[in-house]
Every structure is written in structure tokens, then in C-alpha cells.
Amino acid sequence: MNAIRTVGIICKAGKPEAAEVLKDLLPWLRQRGCDVVIDVETADVLNVDGKPRAEIPSVADVIVVLGGDGTMLGVARLIADRGVPILGVNLGGLGFITEVGLEDLRAVMGEVLEGKCPVEERMVLAAVVSRGGREIGAHAALNDVVINKAALARIIEMETSVNGVHVTTFRADGLIVSTPTGSTAYSLSAGGPIIYPTLNCIAITPICPHSLSNRPLVLPDDSVIRVILRSRSEGVYLTHDGQVGFSLLKDDIVEIRKAAYTTKLLLPCQRSYFQTIRAKLKWSGRVEQGGVQ
């Protein structure tokens, strides 16, 4: 990684803990010769100058995210194809991609500034929606692209093909198309597989399928997945990383493939993926009175 001159910092909105962390972190970074650019909402709390979030990726050499996985996903979409690496700092919650705890922040930031922190490239999905032969939307997702029904909607039918070959018409509450990074998010809750994050593949996981024989599929990363909504049900939505989305109509076509760029995540040197999985999913814990130990 190139020398770091400017550190961008984006915080989860409404998290007072973030401002408290920055009161110590900002002078520490400046003592090491770094310029620091903060999102304007957090800067207002600290009574310093800031920039709109959308402008930070164009001026920063690295971006530190203080928050949770949701904040990280939003920042990943802001960065898009600029290639700026992201360091996620967990301010609470599960945090699969915000791996750094506050107690380790300075040590990990020292590794980042010295160029010793590994950079892992993660696949991104690109989804295009067409209606009546016309493209009406295009978005990217680091975790997943989801077709889902509203709470009171009936089961929906989704005609699905891969590389032009018919797979099946899923009758289910929805369908999750996820990256390996997203395999530990919504897909995991729906019974999908845990996929090592640097593998080159895409997972399709039906949500509460009408047929118990419908199981998750794992496909090569060069697959083009095409889903046509065949239901007349109202209240069907397409979402990207659970944050960006819009309503789908009957015969809308959703085409999903690997994006032309990746998201670069900075990872703590001392921690492995399996350590994270064990900690977050409570693997190998002893069941004793009072819970998992």
C-alpha cells in the first residue's frame, strides 16, 4: 500500500462514542504527519471542519469507519471503484467486517500507517433492473442483493437462470444473492453456507422456500444470474446490502453479476477469519449454567 498522507474518517450517525474516540485519535494521527478529513456530521459535534461523506473517498488514502457493518457497507458503496482501503472499527454489535475493537485501534492504526496491515480484496455484486426492455436501476452491493416480499404479501415466484440456462422458478418469501463477504449476513440467517471471504463465487439462497428441496446454490464468480419476477403480488422489493432498494413489478428483470472492481478491506494482522467466526458465532463454546462460556 502507498504512503498514507490523508486519513478519512466516517462515523455512524448518532453515535456519541465516535466523537469521544476521535478526541484522542485525531491528535494522535496528526502527530504522525497525517491530514485528517472527517464527515461533516461528526465534525459538527467536535466543532471542527468536515466534508460531506460522498467527497471523502476522493481525497483520502485510507478511510476509517467508526460504527458497525451497516456503516461499512454504506462507505463501500461510496468508494465504489476508487480503490480506497477501508478499516472498520466496531462500536458495538456483531460486526463481521468491522473487526477492530476500540482497545486495539491505536495498535492497528500504527500497522496501517507503517504499511504492515494486510489488504483483502472482496468481491462486489452489480445488479441491474429492467422493466419493459428499459433499464430502470443499477446498484452495487458488497454483501447481497435481495428480492423480498412485504410482511403481508403472498409467496412470490422468481424465474431464475444462470448464464442463460434455466435453473428453476423459486416459490418463496424471497431470494438472496450474496458475495462470500455477505455469506455471514442475511444469507446465513436464511440457511445459506458460510463461504471463506476471498473465494471467487456467488451464493443463491431462497428465503423460506415453498419446496423443502430448494437449497442454496454456490456458483462461479463469472456467473450471470437473471431473475424475473413472475408474481402479481404487491409489496415486492429489491434491496442492496439492506440499505438501498425500490419496488418491483411483475415481469421486472433483475440481472446480477460480479462488479468490475473490488472493495479493499484492511484487516488486523493478529486476527484470522476463523477467530472472527468463532468469536461472533460462539463456536466451540462450552454450554454451562448461565449460557455459553
Q: What radius of gyration do the chain's Cα atoms show?
A: 20
Annotated active-site residue in 24, 44, 61, 69: 69
Q: What angle do helix axes 105-113 and 16-31 make, rounded to 10 degrees? A: 40
- Within a domain: 1: no
Query: In this structure, are 89 and 137 located in the same domain?
Result: no
- Within a domain: 30: yes
Query: In this structure, are 148 and 244 located in the same domain?
Result: yes
pLDDT given for residue 269 in this prediction: 66
**Mean confidence (pLDDT) of the chain:** 90
Catalytic residue flag (residue 252): no
Average pLDDT over residues 248-264: 97
pLDDT given for residue 293 in this prediction: 45
What's the pTM value of the predicted model, to 2 decimals?
Answer: 0.89
Average pLDDT over residues 149-177: 92
Domain extent at residue 89: 6-118+267-292
Query: In this structure, are 163 and 101 located in the same domain?
Result: no
Q: Per-residue pLDDT tens for 49-64?
A: 999 999 999 999 999 9
Average pLDDT over residues 256-265: 97
Tell me, what CATH number does 62's domain have? 3.40.50.10330
Query: In this structure, are 27 and 100 located in the same domain?
Result: yes
Largest CA distance in the chain: 61
Quickly tell me which residue has 425500490 as its cell. 246
pLDDT > 70? residue 291: no
Residue/partner pairs of 195-200 with CB below 8 Å, 24 or more apart: 196/273, 197/120, 197/122, 197/273, 198/120, 198/121, 198/122, 200/123
pLDDT given for residue 273 in this prediction: 79
Q: Per-residue pLDDT tens for 98-145?
A: 778 888 899 999 999 998 888 999 999 999 999 999 999 999 999 999
- The answer to whether residues 50 and 38 touch, using CB atoms and an 8 Å cutoff, is yes
Count of structural domains, the chain: 2
Q: Per-residue pLDDT tens for 206-230?
A: 999 988 788 999 999 999 999 999 9
Q: What percent of the chain has pLDDT over 70?
A: 93
